[in-house]
Chains A and B, each alone.
Chain A
Amino acid sequence: MNNLVRFFLIIVVVSGILLGTISHLNTSQGYSGNNTLTVYNWGDYIDVELIKRFEKETDIKVIYETFDSNEAMMTKIQQGGTSYDVAVPSEYTIDKMRQDDLLIPLDHSKLPNLKNIDQRFMDLPFDPDNKYSVPYFWGTVGVVYNPSKINGKKITSWNDLWDPAFKNEILLIDGAREVMGMGLNSLGYSLNDTNKKHLQEAKTKLDKLTPNVKAIVGDEIKMLMANEEASIGLVWSGDASEIMSENEDLDYVVPKEGSNLWFDNMVIPKTAKNVDGAHKFINFMLDPEVAAQNTDYVGYSTPNKAALKYLPKEVVEDERFYPSPELTEKLEVYENLGKRNLAYYNELFLQFKMHRK
């Protein structure tokens, strides 16, 4: 009994010392209540140097957390456990978050750098007048492939992926809308189609792709593609540019039938405790030079027009990542289809995953 009490006391004392040390370290580094800012962003989606620069310039300490899907992020914000000050959802999620009253309206007077954003990317249907959001990056969904490994075949259309020559050579990103979208696009339907017959058709078509699909994976797709685990991958454009900087043999194409055009946007969620700091952070990220440095690091396309002149010409003129107006016409932004339709997309996607070779 005495031993037990002693053991218990030792644990309490050790935990106490650890707690004291942590809080001491935090205060000495400036992490205390008022001057911290919790940023909730996609994994590997910011140049870490910029966070340090922001901390230096404003004396605000940044706590940086990451998520890997819009839905996971929204669930965490809904539950409200952590006081996220800035989050970076995609466009259709902003629509949902707005409806669920999870966002704080932006104070444009605190965001003078907003003028740097290309007018093309302002005032979009998912957020009229940019009341709640500021575009952070944009891009497309497309195919990254290894030209030397597909026997001189060209990939220009979604339907090229169904070629039996690509048996077991395709990696898909684990996203219901991306994969179902590929099926819909290849049939000439809209990415926002909610007609059950069309969706069934797309799923049946995807089932036929199964022999070519090696795996359906998450963020690991970047590593797997760069390591030449497969020769074709369905990815977001930014992932493609990252993969291509790791392995220069690879190329990226947006299929001619069209594809998805997406925006990730900075917002201030309802969980925010440091709304003022959040505005400062957003404004900082909109600075042309900062945006250029961030773009250079992340590799996605920046909506910041003023930043383009700080970027190398071959980047800005690369039509794979800054597509021509003709192709842009064919790109579609995801609409928020509502829970029920989204569930149907996911149901079909699950069935596609279960379809065995």
Chain B
Amino acid sequence: MGRVLAMENKLTRHLYSIPYFLWMLLFVVAPIVLVVYYSLFDIEGNFSFVNYQKFFTPVYLQMTLSSFWYAFLITAISLLVAYPTALLLTKTKHKQLWLLLIIVPSWINLLLKAYAFLGIFGTYGAANSFLKIIGIGSKQILFTDFSFVFVSVYIFIPFMILPIFNALNELNPTLLDAASDLGASRWVTFRRVIFPLTLDGVKSGCQVVFIPALSLFMLTRLIAGNRVITLGTSIEQHFLVTQDWGMGSTIAVFLIIAMVLIMILTNTRKRGV
């Protein structure tokens, strides 16, 4: 009787895992295999490694560097803003409500938000009217590095706040009491107790922001006016305009490799578990 039950259990467990494996196979493994496959063909469909050679030319290397630079900047600023915000949120009375207010904008379509910023940052937009009133005078905001990083941070910040907030929220308050009982100052408590215990939240926040920031493409045109070119922009162009799927796939291969590396780097601690 026991053995039958165990077998049934095993059977249902296998049944339940079918959707997961199907999903992984169809939407994760197959696309990656296809991308790698396409990357091995040149623009006329001949098998070659020419795309990989091309990737290591100054144009694409420079593009890779600048993509990483902007993604890094976006992640760093998001973190700088998000951590204190999350800390503040956990101390408020209606924290779930405040959190919701921060998350709500992320329900709005990205393109709509980008178009709104076109109006706000324009020469005659709200931001410039404000600068005029406070006496600084009209400045070019739209189509600059500043506007690009600003809008990207605005878009990504809920994804950074959320994991940090959860980590802070789960923090056992008695640990803080213990720290202060043992004579730790508030700064030392933060540095030695709070921050290390929320490090996992910070890490997953950074992953969730850095990886998509690396391949941003709509914003580079709308907000940065193509003055910022990232790997994402280039992939879009190769697939839709040049129809050089091989080169587009090659860049995608490098993006995938970069993402895997980042995942491994930021997950080192969890490995022991």
Contacts and interface: CB of A to CB of B under 8 A. Distances in A.
Interface stretch (A128-136, A212-220, A290-298, A303-311): A212-220
Contacts of A218: 221
Contacts of B239: 75
B44 A339 contact: yes
Given A71-B243, A228-B123, A346-B241, A351 B43 contact: no
Contacts of B241: 69, 71-72, 176, 346
B122 A75 contact: no
B143 A350 contact: no
Indicate the member of B62, B226, B241, B244 with the most A CB atoms within 10 Å. B241
Overall SS of chain A's interface: helix
Given A217-B225, A228-B123, A342-B243, 10 more contacts: A71-B240, A72-B241, A75-B239, A217-B222, A223-B118, A339-B242, A342-B242, A346-B244, A351-B59, A354-B59
Contacts, number: 79
Contacts of A339: 43-44, 242-244
Interface of A: 69, 71-72, 74-75, 168, 171, 174, 176, 214-218, 220, 223-224, 227-229, 339-340, 342-343, 346-347, 350-351, 353-354, 356
B142 A229 contact: yes
A184 B166 CA distance: 57
Contact of B242 (A168, A224, A343, A351): A343
Interface residues of B, number: 27
A133 B240 CA distance: 23
B140 interface: yes
B124 interface: yes
B122 A227 contact: yes
Nearest to B238: A346
B209 interface: no
Contacts of B244: 339, 343, 346
B198 interface: no
B237 A227 contact: no
B218 to A, nearest CB: 10
B223 to A, nearest CB: 10
Contacts of A346: 237, 241-242, 244
A234 to B, nearest CB: 13
A75 B142 contact: no
A340 B43 CA distance: 7
A316 to B, nearest CB: 35
